[in-house]
Chains A and B, each alone.
Chain A
Amino acid sequence: MDVRYPIGWMFALMGAVLCVWGMARPGLRAPLAAVNVNLWAGLGMLIFGAAMILLARRARK
């Protein structure tokens, strides 16, 4: 059992949800944030999650 799978999947899913949400509501802003936080943070989480899954796969081979 490699813990990188559940961690990777959780962040990939969370990131994907945030990305889609960020694209669906591009105008949604917190009072002091000038950028689309959901989109960018979601993208970061998606990449992190994917990297975790890839690392776990490479270790299995």
Chain B
Amino acid sequence: MTLAPIDYLILCLYFGFVLGIGWWLRRRVRTSVEFFQSGRSVPLWIASLSFVAANLGAQEVIGMAASGAKYGIMTAHFYWVGAIPAMIFVGLFMMPFYYGSRARSVPEYLRLRFDEKTRTFNAASFAAMTVFSSGISMYALGRLFQLLLGWSFTACVLLGAGIVLVYVLFGGLTASIYNEVLQFFLIALGLAPLMILTLLLVGGWRGLQSRLPEVMTSLWSFTGSADRNPMGVEAFSLVAGLGFVLSFGYWCTDFLLIQRAMAAESMPAARRTPLVAAFPKMIIPFLVILPGLVAVALTKMGTGYSLPLKESGVYDYDQAFPTLLAQFYPPGMLGVGITALMASFMSGMAGNVTAFNTVWTYDIYETHIRPGAGDAHYLRVGRITTVVGVLISIGAAYVATIYNNLMDLLQLIFGFVNAPLFATFLLGMFWKRATGHGAFTGLLAGTAGAALTHGLTLAEEKGAWIGELHRFPSTMAQNFWIAIVAWTSCFLVTILVSLVTRPRPDAEMRGLVWGLTEKPADRGRPLLLGLVVTAILLALNWYFW
């Protein structure tokens, strides 16, 4: 695939506007609150779209299409089971504590509710995780564009990272959020024509159903047991592992996302941010997963298109999305499609960068390195951290080109640390007896539980570095069960240790925990909004059953 001058024109137009937004906002950033928290003044619809976009990285677009081609519509579980219920929960029940506590970050909430060690553990692992994951997605983008367009890896990485760096430096979180809204629309409008064109060619959803094996077009019908579907998961681990532990752990505690809702202009806006975000989130599977299914159908139809093969003779699913772009978009629109991929990469990366600089500056630097300095000092530290964070990410991207296994290992370890998190927040917010010692030991126990489960089980030749007690049909099933074990051990250990340690006086926990916090007024009807989202969600699950 080669790009024509018109495609580069479109790409440059986009670069011009994202940089322009950063430049435009430069005068609005005078204090650290404006740089890190967008002055807590972002309108609801902007916060919501940025909430969705910050999560919508380039790996997601390519990866979800690949997964759609490999597993079929069951991939949509990552949205309809694995995201939406958690988004409803965080908006209705957790945002009153996050926003109401006036914490500046998620780790800082842990400091207010529990203690310093729990916060530091969470802040350090989160900070490390965000810079590395932005490095990994940078690596993925560089490889993709190298393979697809013949661009140099270095040029691609430096261009993408450089532009994000410039607009975040100028406009802080506000620039990141405003650009995420622009990027969201670009992704949606850039990918929607592909979905429409491909579906028209195969005869819509009914046409797909008639051309693909039934297991690829059923969401739940084949989840009775793990060996009946290609994902190798059964309904229980799907709902408990993915739907509950993993997705609540991510959507309800990951600062990258919560930061966007915490920047909202008011409590009602903050609570509705994830709820309003759920609407576009429910639709994204149609944009990114359906093309994967279509790629398989087209391959069977003899249209002249076929999914590329790897050297080993199996389908190269990662190629599904890029090859479809080339088959359906002429020069011009192709530029828009490529720009949309670039935009999705940048929105994910800016999300990581803004979350990293905030956690580093507030939760590590201000807490442990230099407390009590003036606001201008922390603003400067925030800007320097932004540069350093981007540099580390670029470094990580290059390390990934050489030591791919090292990156896999890091992601695995971060997964262990993350899996139990939701139990800590759940107990912290809804059980006032939970103590700091309980939370900290619980987190350690959960992480250990995750590592042990991985060490004792085998799936697709992964894991079992201690010994093989059990074999899973797929790494996905293994991941879900690791999460379930981690969550349960954290939950139980936190309760046990809390019961034998000294409780905090109620007076210190006002606004931080259920029962000691004034119930927020139902302004903006978040509950009704939650019910509407639930109804649509059930309808989607029923239709694609």
Report A's interface with B, CB cutoff 8 A: 1, 3, 6-7, 9-11, 13-14, 17-18, 21-22, 25, 28-33, 35, 37-38, 40-42, 44-45, 48
Cα distance, A31 to B152, chains bound together (Å) = 27
Q: Which of A17, A31, A38 has the most CB of B within 10 A?
A: A38
Q: Which of B6, B25, B330 contacts A29 (CB 8 A)?
A: B330
Determine the distance from Cα of A31 to Cα of B331 in the docked complex, in whole angstroms.
11
Q: Return the chain A residue nearest B339 by Cβ.
A: A14
Measured in the bound complex, the distance between the Cα atoms of B241 and A42 in whole Å is: 43
A6 in contact with B24 given A32-B201, A33-B197, A37-B328 (CB within 8 Å): yes
Determine the main DSSP class of B at the interface with A.
helix
The complex places the Cα of A9 from the Cα of B14 at a distance, in Å, of 11
Residues of A within 8 A of B333 (CB): 18, 30, 37-38, 41-42
Q: Which of A1, A13, A25 contacts B25 (CB 8 A)?
A: A1
CA distance A51 to B407 in the complex (A): 44
B231 at the interface (CB under 8 A from A): no
CA distance A41 to B332 in the complex (A): 10
Interface bracket on B: 20 to 34
Q: In chain B, residues 14-67, which have Cβ atoms closer than 8 Å to a Cβ of chain A?
A: 14, 17, 20-21, 24-25, 28, 46
Q: How far is the CA of A31 from the CA of B329 in the complex (A)?
A: 8
Complex Cα gap A17–B518 (Å): 54
12 contacts between A and B (CB under 8 A): A6-B17, A9-B17, A10-B13, A10-B14, A17-B13, A18-B336, A21-B332, A31-B304, A32-B304, A37-B332, A42-B332, A44-B189
Residues of the A chain whose Cβ atoms lie less than 8 Å from the Cβ of B6 = 17, 21
Tell me if A's interface is mostly helix, strand, loop or mixed: helix
Tell me if A1 and B24 are in contact (CB < 8 A): yes
Q: A1-B25, A3-B178, A10-B182 are in contact. Are A17 and B20 (CB under 8 A)?
A: no
A14-B13 contact in complex given A31-B304, A32-B305, C-beta closer than 8 Å: yes
Contact with A along B177-219 (1 / 0, CB 8 A): 0100110010001000100010001000000000000000000
> For residues 231 through 288 of chain B, which have their beta carbon under 8 Å from a beta carbon of chain A?
none
**Which A residues are CB-close (under 8 A) to B326?**
30-31
User: Does the CB pair A6–B21 fall under 8 Å?
Assistant: yes
8 A Cβ contacts from B325-364 to A? 326-334, 336
Would you give the shortest CB distance from B46 to chain A, in whole angstroms?
6
Q: Let me know if A28 and B182 touch, CB within 8 A.
A: no
Verify if B499 is at the interface (C-beta below 8 Å from A). no
Q: A10-B182, A11-B189, A14-B13 are in contact. Are A30 and B304 (CB under 8 A)?
A: no
- Are the C-beta atoms of A1 and B304 separated by less than 8 Å? no
Distance from B5 Cβ to chain A, minimum over Cβ atoms (Å) = 11
Contact yes or no, A33 B21, CB < 8 A: no
CB distance from A53 to the nearest CB of B (A): 13
